[in-house]
Amino acid sequence: MAKRLGIGVIGCGNISAAYFRLASLFRGIEMRACADINMEAAKARAKEFKLRAETVDDLLSAKDIDIVVNLTIPAVHYEVSKRVLDAGKHVYSEKPFVLSVKEGLDLKKRAGKNGLRIGSAPDTFLGGAHQLVRNLIDTGKVGKITSGTCYVMSHGMEHWHPNPDFFFQPGAGPVLDIGPYYVTNLIQLMGPVKQVAAVATTPAEERTILSKPRRGEKIPVNTPTTIHAILQFESGAVVTLNTSWDVWSHGHAPMELYGEAGTVFVPDPNFFGGTVSYTKGESAVKALPKWDHPFAVANEKHPHGMMANYRTAGLADMALAILEGRPHRCSMELALHAVDVMTGILKSGETGKFVAMQTTCERPAALGVKEAKGLLAKK
């Protein structure tokens, strides 16, 4: 298949560089243009990656753009995605997809009316490590999953991010900012969630920026930064999810899932790779050998060493799904259910009551070795 869909990006901030840099790894997509409310930012990215810099209006009307990637801040994800759909183009959004189920259902209606697709990050669950866990579960190696724990805890972004303000406003916080990686991975591994409960606190009402160029500046905190939640899945499994930006250090594994026949230790869902370990019954914990999955291969240098980074895999899968007439894995239904879970957690934290999910979804198709190789461009 030689055909490629033209990709335009709205939002030229930090995350856009990864999309532009990694898009060439994949079949079915070609980055062609970028836009931003700050035209200078768009021009800078366009020059860096040899693209066209456009106004938002011009990008939405461009005939060679088939899918628009929405990399704006979460607070405007809905409005921007709505404009994209109303312009007759498919949209792929950064996480969180929207900030309410109501917004998501409206976008679903608009997309359905025009025969368009919606996709959303995160796509890290397509990584080799998480698909290996999926294979363990699907083949019954650890038995039916009955419970689990997840920990995503640090001391926030004000220590390194140049403009960390939005992380501490409604629409962000650890549940909506980092939670999508964990919640989405849980759904693809175990299926949809039935109900949630949570306790939420805000230990510090303001933060001090420790990064340049705004070092020393105080910023307000208007969303909970420590949230402990319980997720009950439709399968009957119960998972504890602890998220916090008020923790300096801890010794918890990112994710552990407990099955009737054994335990699986899942690496950080924020990344594509990592070591998967498991036990069978009372046997000792052992690390599984890495399998021949292309999205497990370390391909980029990071401060902690070489890591696997295949961001845009979800976008490429969506583009090829459009061309091939099949469902895509980073689907609107999956993203909306994850938003339902996360906003339900925040609502429970406010009310002190269990919150039932308004949505459900199918588990996305597994991405095995053959399927993953099929997403990659031939060298």
- Tell me how far the alpha carbon of residue 343 is from its chain's centroid: 15
For residues 33 and 46, give the distance between their C-alpha atoms in angstroms, rounded to a whole number: 7
For residues 352 and 345, give the distance between their C-alpha atoms in angstroms, rounded to a whole number: 10
Backbone angles phi, psi at 271, to 5 degrees: -130, 160
Instruction: Tell the burial category of 222 from Cβ atoms under 10 Å away from its Cβ (0-12, 13-18, 19+).
Output: middle
pLDDT digits (tens, 9 = 90+) for 311-349: 999 999 999 999 999 999 999 999 999 999 999 999 999
pLDDT digits (tens, 9 = 90+) for 200-214: 999 999 999 998 889
Whole-prediction pTM = 0.95
Handedness of CA 303, 376, 5, 80 (dihedral sign): negative
Whether the predicted pLDDT of 104 surpasses 70 = yes
3-state secondary structure the chain: CCCCEEEEEECCCCCHHHHHHHHHHECCEEEEEEECCCHHHHHHHHHHHCCEEECHHHHHHCCCCCEEEECCCHHHHHHHHHHHHHCCCEEEECCCCCCCHHHHHHHHHHHHHHCCCEEECCCHHHCHHHHHHHHHHHCCCCCCEEEEEEEEECCCCCCCCCCCHHHHCCCCHHHHHCHHHHHHHHHHHHCCEEEEEEEEECCCCEEECCCCCCCCCEEECCCCCEEEEEEEECCCCEEEEEEECCCCCCCCCCEEEEECCEEEEECCCCCCCCCCEEEECCCCCEECCCCCCHHHCCCEEECCEEECCCCCHHHHHHHHHHHHCCCCCCEHHHHHHHHHHHHHHHHHHHHCCCEECCCCCCCCCCCCHHHHHHHECCC
pLDDT digits (tens, 9 = 90+) for 345-369: 999 999 999 999 999 999 999 999 9
Mean pLDDT, residues 256-281? 96
Pairing outcome for strands 193-201 and 262-266: unpaired
| Percentage with pLDDT > 90 across the chain | 88
Whether the predicted pLDDT of 1 surpasses 50 = no
Question: Under a CB-based contact definition with an 8 Å cutoff, are residues 372 and 131 in contact?
Answer: yes
Pairing outcome for strands 300-302 and 90-93: unpaired
| Percentage with pLDDT > 70 across the chain | 99
Question: Under a CB-based contact definition with an 8 Å cutoff, are residues 126 and 272 in contact?
Answer: yes
Over the chain, what is the mean pLDDT? 95
pLDDT digits (tens, 9 = 90+) for 139-179: 999 999 999 999 999 998 998 888 888 889 888 899 999 99
Cα 354 to Cα 220, 236, 350, distances in angstroms:
29, 16, 11
Between residues 67 and 285, which one has the greater pLDDT? 67
Whether the predicted pLDDT of 23 surpasses 60 = yes
Cα 127 to Cα 34, 115, 222, distances in angstroms:
27, 29, 33
Between residues 108 and 302, which one has the greater pLDDT? 108
- Give the pLDDT confidence score for residue 2 in this predicted structure: 56
For residues 119 and 314, give the distance between their C-alpha atoms in angstroms, rounded to a whole number: 8
Question: Under a CB-based contact definition with an 8 Å cutoff, are residues 32 and 51 in contact?
Answer: yes
